[in-house]
Amino acid sequence: MRYDEFYRQSIEQPERFWGEQARLIHWDTPPQQILDQSNPPFRRWFVGGTTNLCYNAVDRHLAERGEQLALVAISSETNTTQEVSYHELYREVNRFAAVLQSLGVGQGDRVVIYMPNMAEAVYAMLACARIGAIHSVVFGGFAAHNLALRIDDAEPKLLICADAGMRGGKVIAYKPLVDAALAESSCPPPHVLIVDRQLDPQLTRVPGRDLDYARLRAQHMDAEVPVTWLESNEPSYLLYTSGTTGKPKGIQRDVGGYAVAMALSIRAIFDIAPGQVMFSTSDVGWAVGHSYNVYGPLIGGATALLYEGLPTHPDPGIWWQLCEKYRVRTMFSSPTAIRVLKKQDASWLKKYDLSQLKWLFLAGEPLDEPTAHWITDGLGVPVIDNYWQTETGWPAITLMPGLELKPVKWGSPGLPAPGYRMKVINEVTGAEAATGEKGVLVFVPPLPPGCLSTVWRDDARYVHSYFSHFSELLYSSLDWAIRDADGYTNILGRTDDVINVAGHRLGTREIEESVASHPAVAEAAVVGVHDELKGQVPVVFATLKQGITESNASVARGMQQCVVDQLGGVARPARVYVVNALPKTRSGKLLRRSLQALVQQTDPGDLSTLDDPAALEDIRRALSRGPEQGA
Ligand code: ATP
Ligand code: MG
């Protein structure tokens, strides 16, 4: 079926459409009711059906593809590669599940997982799913305080951690962070299960509390743990949003709806059939990592490539080398990662045989045109921008090359995915915005399967955060969008990233895009800074590509000119700073609010989601040095 018809059916006859999609997965008991929307904005999909994520991701494939690779875990940090067949995955997940049960973990119990992209993280997630425990993966390497906040919110029965992670050859000990988090937490779990890769020679254990996974695993080598069948709307996992705009929200996912969304999207969006290979470079701690490093490809009977390490280590060709070696068909990454590669020589993109690679999907933040062009030209494969949120769990706006490749339009992630009743509305009147007119991106309930069921233990926050912005009951994405005559949607940034210059409302994102069109610029961040005369003025922070010989001042003048030429004089950046790095969250998103606070010398607020504190120091130095180019 072509996209238009597929989408139309999902909107006009949702119960029929999703009832059909539900057949993509295995149900122990089939659903009795496809959709219950008696209590909006809550909704329940596949009511009465019982299923299990682990069964669909593992057991279901054993008969047909037991010997096929399910997971390839590659670490360019520890220099290891594990090739795991579906049969071996089944064995490891059963061992892990037996260990969990031996520690008293059962249905409905929360388990916090604090590990890098390693095979055992996947085993742990699937083992939780198998026994109906609710996992909450916390990005490994998040600071202790961050971990403590999530522990206190989830109240886990168990914490599973790695002894350490590695980044660019440097060992980052996790266990001291766990110890500190548990000391800070008001409800520390009774046990910590350590998967010890022996990266940290100083690893210490608290007697009685801390247990070694390897030792317990050895006691359960032949374990067969029965699957716990769960009603479709039981919680499967919790995942916190990035915290770019404020305190992270504990997104709660269901079982059946999520499984169906994964089965549908891996095929129709990501164009992956059973036996094909998907490489998602995200971290298991993020939404993309959950859905397309783990559940999506496995539910789809594909091979999932899991990568621990930097895109530039041991060299900037590492990802493409892996694509060649494992005949990757679909790759999924983020604009940030591509911008990191863009600082390197483009010849790295041409070194390997990428004839099997069909698609590169990018998500997580706006994909600027220069970056999109650079990578498309370099790889010679279509780049598919796709828009989603931790809340949605899978793309909400995308092209669907698994069904039909509609034309790629630069700057737009494309069209709504099945089940998303998308609208762009005026933020004041709530009326639908005209074609070409900017508004807030909203979804009319019911949200499709796969999207959040609620905020963990906080239904009120679910309603208040997402559904209380307009007089009508609408899910607000809190992002600006604009639609063209073909229905393609552009995302113009977050609703709180707007600056007001002498009465003109400007999106920081649009100015950033314009600055980034300067050939010397690798990446740019724009914030609005208070100004006596104009209210606010745009201030630019930019990193440059490697090997630029032009002076910083001259590049800065060039950036201002780009903005004037493309957006007009009113958007002209008042000051331009050239810096080495921009402050980002651990998920690679720009932390504009901390940049703005630094410039205005106000409180930078919660910096716990910040990736690299050195970036802030760099900004501080640049500020005290003065701009490359002032007004
Ligand atoms: P928080 O909600 O806690 O502030 P966050 O919004 O950064 O954190 P995520 O759920 O990881 O947490 O990010 C989703 C957001 O990322 C979207 O709302 C949007 O602003 C941005 N985004 C994701 N994909 C795209 C894309 N393809 N184009 C533009 N923006 C995108
Ligand atoms: Mg958000």
User: In terms of Cα–Cα distance, which of 138, 154, 150 is closest to 286?
Assistant: 138
Q: Is the dihedral of CA 310, 311, 315, 319 positive or negative?
A: positive
pLDDT score, position 262: 98
Contact 158, 109 (CB under 8 A): yes
**Count of alpha carbons within 13 Å of 315, Cβ hemisphere only?**
10
Of 78-82, 463-467, 511-515, 566-570, the least confident:
566-570
Q: Is the CB of 307 under 6 A from ligand 1?
A: no
Q: Is 491 in the pocket of ligand 1 (CB under 6 A)?
A: yes
Cβ–Cβ under 8 Å, residues 296 and 322: no
Q: Is the pLDDT of residue 631 over 60?
A: no
Residues 6 or more apart whose Cβ sits within 8 Å of residue 526: 508, 509, 511, 512, 515, 538, 539, 540, 541, 573, 592
Measured between alpha carbons, how far is 594 from 599 in angstroms, rounded to an integer?
9
Least confident of 22-26, 138-142, 238-242: 138-142
Question: Which residue shows structure tokens 């990428």?
Answer: 354
pLDDT score, position 306: 98
Other Cβ atoms within 10 Å of 81 Cβ, number? 13
Burial zone of 405 (CB within 10 Å; 0-12 exposed, 13-18 middle, 19+ buried): middle
For residue 248, the ligand closest to its alpha carbon is: 1
CA 604 to centroid of ligand 1, rounded, Å: 20
| 400 has a pLDDT exceeding 80 | yes
Atom of ligand 1 nearest to the CA of 249: 3
Q: Give the chain's radius of gyration (CA, Å).
A: 24
- Cβ of 245 closer than 6 Å to ligand 1, yes or no, is yes
Least confident range from 70-74, 160-164, 418-422, 612-616: namely 612-616
Superfamily for the 497-630 domain? ANL, C-terminal domain (3.30.300.30)
Q: Please determine, for residue 498, whether its predicted confidence score (pLDDT) is greater than 80.
A: no
Q: Where, residue-wise, is CATH 3.30.300.30 in the chain?
A: 497-630
**Token duo for residue 144:** 């202790």
Contact 287, 388 (CB under 8 A): yes
**For the domain 3-480, what is the CATH code?**
3.40.50.12780
- Verify whether ligand 1 is closer than 6 Å to residue 243 (CB atom): yes
Are the CB atoms for 526 and 498 separated by under 8 Å? Answer: no
What's the confidence (pLDDT) of residue 336?
87
Q: Which tens digits make up the pLDDT trace of 317-336?
A: 999 999 999 999 999 999 98
How far is Cα 321 from Cα 248, in angstroms, rounded to an integer? Answer: 36
Query: Is the peptide bond preceding residue 41 cis, with omega within 30 degrees of 0?
Result: yes
Q: What is the mean pLDDT of the chain?
A: 94
Q: Check residue 604 and give its pLDDT.
A: 73
Tell me if 538 sits within 8 A of 511, measured CB to CB. yes
- Atom 11, ligand 1: residue with shortest CA distance: 242
**630: confidence class by pLDDT, cuts 50, 70, 90:** low
The residue whose CA has the least distance to atom 28 of ligand 1 is 366
CB of residue 395 inside a 6 A radius of ligand 1: no
Instruction: Tell me the ligand closest to 493's alpha carbon.
Output: 1
* Token reading at 234: 């039981």
Decide: 240 in ligand 1 pocket, CB within 6 A.
no
Average pLDDT over residues 186-191: 97
pLDDT digits 0-9 by tens, 117-169: 999 999 999 999 999 999 999 988 678 888 999 999 999 999 999 999 999 99
pLDDT tens digit string along 254-290?
A: 999 999 999 999 999 999 999 999 999 999 999 999 9
Question: 291: Cβ below 6 Å to ligand 1?
Answer: no
**How many other C-beta atoms lie within 10 A of the C-beta of residue 70?**
26
What confidence score (pLDDT) does residue 246 get?
64
Residue 9, pLDDT > 90, answer yes
Torsion, Cα 459 463 465 468, to 10 degrees, reads -160
Ranges of CATH 3.40.50.12780 domains, the chain: 3-480
Q: Determine if ligand 1 sits within 6 Å of the CB of residue 250.
A: no
Q: Which ligand is nearest to the CA of 244?
A: 1
CA of 250 to the centre of ligand 1 (A): 15
Query: 401 near 407, Cβ under 8 Å?
Result: no
**Ligand 1 contact via 289 beta carbon (within 6 Å):** no
Q: Is 467 in the pocket of ligand 1 (CB under 6 A)?
A: no
- Is the CB–ligand 1 distance for residue 389 below 6 Å? yes
Mean pLDDT value of segment 52-76: 98
- Between 362 and 145, residue with greater pLDDT: 362
**Poorest-pLDDT segment among 10-19, 209-218, 451-460, 583-592:** 583-592
For 116-202, strand residue ranges (E) read 134-137, 158-162, 164-167, 170-173, 191-195
Helices (H), 400-489: 459-467
Q: Rounded to an integer, what distance in angstroms lies between the CA atom of residue 249 and that of residue 246?
A: 9
Ligand 1 closest atom vs CA 413: 27
CB 215 within 8 A of CB 193: no
Give the span between the Cα atoms of 457 and 142, in whole angstroms.
23
Q: Looking at ligand 1, which residue's alpha carbon is closest to its atom 19?
A: 365
> Ligand 2 centroid to 307 CA: how many Å?
25
Instruction: Tell me the CA distances in angstroms from 185 to 182, 246, 464, 589, one per residue in order.
Output: 5, 20, 27, 27
Separation of alpha carbons 509 and 491, rounded Å: 9
pLDDT score for 616:
86
Q: Which of 148-157, 478-487, 587-596 bottoms out in mean pLDDT, i.e. has the lowest? A: 587-596
Q: What is the 388 CA–ligand 1 centroid distance (Å)?
A: 7
Average pLDDT (611-619) is 84
